[in-house]
Structure 1
Amino acid sequence: MKIAVPLVFINGIKSFIERFFTRKSSALLIWLSVFIGLLAGGVSALFDHGIILVSEMRLELIHRYGEGDIPLWLIAIPISSIMAATAFYITHRFAPEAGGSGIPEIEGAMEGMRPVRWKRVIPVKFMGGLLALGSGMALGREGPSVQLGANVGRMISDIFKVGKVDAQALLAAGAAGGLAAAFNAPLAGIMFVIEEMRSQFNYSLTSTKSVFLSAVMATIVMRVFTDQDAVVTVTQYSHPDLHTLGFYLVLGFCFGVIGIYFNKMILATQDIYLSIHKGRRWYFVGIGAFLGAIFGALSIVAPDVAFSGIELIPHVEGGHFLAGGLLLLFLVRTFTTLLSFGSGAPGGVFAPTLALGTLFGMLFGVIAQALFPDLITEPGAFAIAGMGGLFAATVRAPITGILLVIEMTSNYEMILPLIVTCLGATMVAQTLGGRPIYTQLLERTLKLAMRAKRQETTDKAMDRISGKYTKHDKQEEKS
């Protein structure tokens, strides 16, 4: 009897190992997901440190040449202008799909509608993102990290020649790893793929495990390069009184309305930019140079309205602004976010959206405290809830928003008001007919691609008629 128990245990382990290794496809996918997580975390860490390094080099140049009577903001204009123009040029010239956050491109690739040219996108997104974000533009690094991670996933898929279904799983795993590393938030990275990419993600036990493993490994790598602290250092709030939950629901309703109009303004801004440059490279680069000049000056004169806004969140939540200042900053940062993200610069809108949510949430809390001083004692708690509220209304991924804020701020006791705020925001946005921003951006991208393809076909037909269609054109068409 004593011998039988160890034999059963040993046979069980042996059977597990045999099943694990005989299912070669599943086992390979699991190990590739671990590898992708390591690479995605490493790329995100390098991207993060690169942004800091580029920003410091820019400031060093500004202070070096601004030691005399020339104002620092005047020195910053040409430096930031050149940086942004370079970012716009390499994006338009080598990989136009690297513009913007890149998340719609990944969702399109998971549906088989968009190509993943990782050989071009990885270097262009990395360098373009460093220059655009380093110039002072109001962009986030999270979208680029997601696109970089997903392209790493496709790179590994191509190298190991995995099947179509497995390649999609590894693409999603890379995206999860990129977001998890960027925010130091593994749960949010996992949930973003499962919730936001639910219509594209091919659910199975193996693909889900791949996403989990990649997010965990990417976070570990990021923490090795940085630290294990939360991304944002804010006040740690205790459980709010239950009778204040109604205020959080009203805050969510407000974000539901704001989110709809914010998404509309993003699309309208992109259309305005497109009507200006019409796809012409040097017009596009000129816009980049102009924006670089503006944000170069703002980064010195008014840094609160430039950059991603992550550094602004603790100051807002800490009560450093009055109600008038919060409203003004919210409006100006909305404008600078639209100006930056709508241009097609290689940068994301995650962090700027979180900053805007914090600003409006704090404004709501300050006003609520003034009206109901006996009920509301900590207006900063509404700033934390606001981070998730605007994200839920615009991206339409409430669970991701809740987890993201909790992991970013380590405010685990704020989970109930976050749920109420994000639920209210999502309900109102859905009732009023709002649609997720990344879905709308993907549809716009596909529409523009179809229009460009039709125009190219028309141009070739006209060249054939006029006799300008050469042998070289025929060879290009076949390739």
Structure 2
Amino acid sequence: MTARRLRGACRAHLVAALAGCLVGLVGGAFRWCLQRADALRGRLLETAAGLGGGLGWLVPVALTAAGAALACAIARRVPHAAGSGIQHVEAVWRGESEAPTWRLLPAKFAGGVVAIGSGLVLGREGPAVHMGAAIGAEAGRRTGLGADDIRLLHTSLAGAGLAVAFAAPLGGLLFVCEEVTRSVRPRLVLMTLVGTAAAAAVSALIAGGAPIFPFPDAPAPPVWLLPVFLLFGATAGLLGAAYGGLVIGSLALSDRLAARVPATARAALIGAVVGLLMAVDPLFAGGGDPLGERLLAGWSPAVGVLAAYLAVRFAAGPLSYAAGTPGGLFAPLLAVGALWGALAHAAAGPLLPGQAAGSGAFAVVGMAALFAAVVRAPATGIVLVVEMTGATSLVLPLLAACFAAALTADRLGSEPVYDRLRRRMQERP
């Protein structure tokens, strides 16, 4: 390597480190705001429940409807601010779209806090990834880097955004290689490592760096149970294919209504439906972290209750995504996967020897398996879930289930959801 190229590489990596610190600051603040918004929503729901009568139902309906309409209005002011943003990050890497500017940041931040905080079934990782990518691209422009380095910064800092959202730095690196670029390039890997490490360190100072879903220490399931996890992964593949189809179908239905119903009105209507579900049970709404925590801790309600939670959140996630607000798919997807795992354990548990594997173990494996089926990034799903839970004893079941889930979804002809979303983004005027 010549001295000039060496200086250029050092400069790009220094920019990645500094931009990573900014991603950690913005992403950590985003998580902190969402935590405060969730707490405030919980207090409002408790107060509304105490009012009784129609007011007890009106407050959550009005809250989520207003939040969805406001977030949609914010997103419509900036191109690509609606939805997850991951498909846009992938399109930029492929040269199909231009990298976003700094104007995306306030729209994603404010719109995401309002939409997710009001109770829509959306995830924080989409806005975090998109904001990280925007920060990386803007940092490259401001420091006079070349077009190739700007694209590398845009992509690598997207991984830093995911790392901040889930406190999962290795997951952020794998996400860049397996999902966004589908390649391993030394310079991209190094820039992602630098940016992700800086982002994770700064974010931990603001929002904490502990696992999102701490999983109690448990012995590894016996090896003879791996065929059970293979079969379970196959069922998750079926569920994942249906979930991805429902996401695209909900967006298509929203598009068909566009000529008759304004976007903000559609968002408000969707918000009202989710708010009504939230009035019935707060666990029906939101990103799904409280539900995931309960399931991983071994919470085992009746089979009918688990089935009801699964059915509602299975439909509410794609419905919320169709509202056109900032928000991602990952977090709600993980909650559905945990529910599927708990439900599978409740159904099959009596057939298994005692202590073979608890419901929490099936919930952990279900999170990664459904992720692998919908996103088609099994290695990323496994590492993300292990970092989020600390469940290193479940690596073999995770490998078996994610292999079966991804293979089943692929054999069913189900495309990865972000490929479909990226193509849809390119086809729209």
- Into which bin does the TM-score normalised by the smaller protein fall? over 0.9
Structure 2 equivalent of residue 25 of structure 1: 8
**Displacement of 1:24:** 1.7
Distance 1:131 1:429, change over 3 A: same
Structure 2 equivalent of residue 125 of structure 1: 108
Partner deviation per Cα, 1:320-371 (whole Å, 9 max, x = no partner): 3222211121111101111101332210010110001111111112222122
Aligned 1:47-126 pairs, distance under 5 A: 47-58=30-41, 71-92=55-76, 94-126=77-109
Residue identity matched to 1:392: A
Structure 1 equivalent of residue 264 of structure 2: 285
Residue identity matched to 1:89: A
**Displacement of 1:76:** 2.8
2:268 and 2:4 map into 1 onto residues whose CA distance is 55
Q: Residue 237 of structure 2 contacts residue 407 of structure 2 at CA under 8 Å; is this kept in 1? A: yes
Partner deviation per Cα, 1:37-71 (whole Å, 9 max, x = no partner): 11111111111111223344455566678875663
**Displacement of 1:379:** 3.0
Structure 1 equivalent of residue 365 of structure 2: 385
1:60 and 1:89 map into 2 onto residues whose CA distance is 26
Q: Residue 75 of structure 2 contacts residue 324 of structure 2 at CA under 8 Å; is this kept in 1? A: no
Partner deviation per Cα, 1:160-193 (whole Å, 9 max, x = no partner): 1211211111011110110001100010000000
1:25 and 1:146 map into 2 onto residues whose CA distance is 26
Pick from 206, 209, 212: which aligns with 1:231? 212
Q: Residue 221 of structure 2 contacts residue 356 of structure 2 at CA under 8 Å; is this kept in 1? A: no
Check if 1:242 corresponds to 2:228: no
Pick from 118, 121, 124: which aligns with 1:138? 121
Partner deviation per Cα, 1:225-269 (whole Å, 9 max, x = no partner): 132321112322221101101100001111111111211111111
TM-score (norm 1): 0.84
1:224 and 1:56 map into 2 onto residues whose CA distance is 20
Distance 1:368 1:230, change over 3 A: same
Q: Residue 393 of structure 1 contacts residue 426 of structure 1 at CA under 8 Å; is this kept in 2? A: yes
Higher mean displacement: 51-60 or 180-189 = 51-60
Structure 1 equivalent of residue 339 of structure 2: 359
Pick from 202, 213, 233: which aligns with 1:252? 233
**Displacement of 1:145:** 0.4
Partner deviation per Cα, 1:196-219 (whole Å, 9 max, x = no partner): 0234x6x53222100111111111
Q: Residue 80 of structure 1 contacts residue 293 of structure 1 at CA under 8 Å; is this kept in 2? A: yes
Q: Percent identical across equivalent pairs?
A: 31
Distance 1:170 1:249, change over 3 A: same
Residue identity matched to 1:286: A
2:148 and 2:98 map into 1 onto residues whose CA distance is 15
Q: Residue 233 of structure 1 contacts residue 314 of structure 1 at CA under 8 Å; is this kept in 2? A: yes
**Displacement of 1:374:** 5.0
SS state of the match for residue 425, structure 2? Answer: helix
Distance 1:19 1:58, change over 3 A: same
Check if 1:406 corresponds to 2:390: no
2:412 and 2:37 map into 1 onto residues whose CA distance is 42
Check if 1:427 corresponds to 2:410: no
CA-based RMSD of the aligned residues comes to: 2.1
Q: Residue 36 of structure 1 contacts residue 173 of structure 1 at CA under 8 Å; is this kept in 2? A: no
Aligned 1:263-274 pairs, distance under 5 A: 263-274=244-255
Q: Residue 20 of structure 1 contacts residue 27 of structure 1 at CA under 8 Å; is this kept in 2? A: no
Distance 1:207 1:244, change over 3 A: same
2:232 and 2:52 map into 1 onto residues whose CA distance is 48
**Displacement of 1:435:** 1.4
Distance 1:20 1:353, change over 3 A: farther
1:439 and 1:315 map into 2 onto residues whose CA distance is 32
Structure 2 equivalent of residue 217 of structure 1: 198
Q: Residue 334 of structure 2 contacts residue 371 of structure 2 at CA under 8 Å; is this kept in 1? A: yes
Structure 1 equivalent of residue 287 of structure 2: 308
Partner deviation per Cα, 1:396-449 (whole Å, 9 max, x = no partner): 00000100110000011111110111011111122222211101110111011x
Unpaired segments ≥5 residues, structure 1:
1-17, 453-479
Distance 1:66 1:328, change over 3 A: closer
**Displacement of 1:295:** 2.7
Q: Residue 33 of structure 1 contacts residue 210 of structure 1 at CA under 8 Å; is this kept in 2? A: yes
Residue identity matched to 2:185: S
Residue identity matched to 1:75: V
2:176 and 2:189 map into 1 onto residues whose CA distance is 9
Residue identity matched to 1:77: V
Pick from 311, 323, 331: which aligns with 1:343? 323
SS state of the match for residue 166, structure 1? Answer: helix
1:315 and 1:417 map into 2 onto residues whose CA distance is 21
Distance 1:22 1:389, change over 3 A: closer
Q: Residue 63 of structure 1 contacts residue 72 of structure 1 at CA under 8 Å; is this kept in 2? A: no
TM-score (norm 2): 0.94
**Displacement of 1:288:** 1.4
Unpaired segments ≥5 residues, structure 2:
none
SS state of the match for residue 161, structure 1? Answer: coil
2:384 and 2:392 map into 1 onto residues whose CA distance is 11
Higher mean displacement: 175-184 or 307-316 = 307-316
Q: Residue 81 of structure 1 contacts residue 296 of structure 1 at CA under 8 Å; is this kept in 2? A: yes
Partner deviation per Cα, 1:55-106 (whole Å, 9 max, x = no partner): 44455566678875663331233233222211111211x1141111100011
Q: Residue 32 of structure 2 contacts residue 206 of structure 2 at CA under 8 Å; is this kept in 1? A: no
Structure 2 equivalent of residue 161 of structure 1: 144
Higher mean displacement: 406-415 or 323-332 = 323-332
Pick from 161, 171, 174: which aligns with 1:178? 161
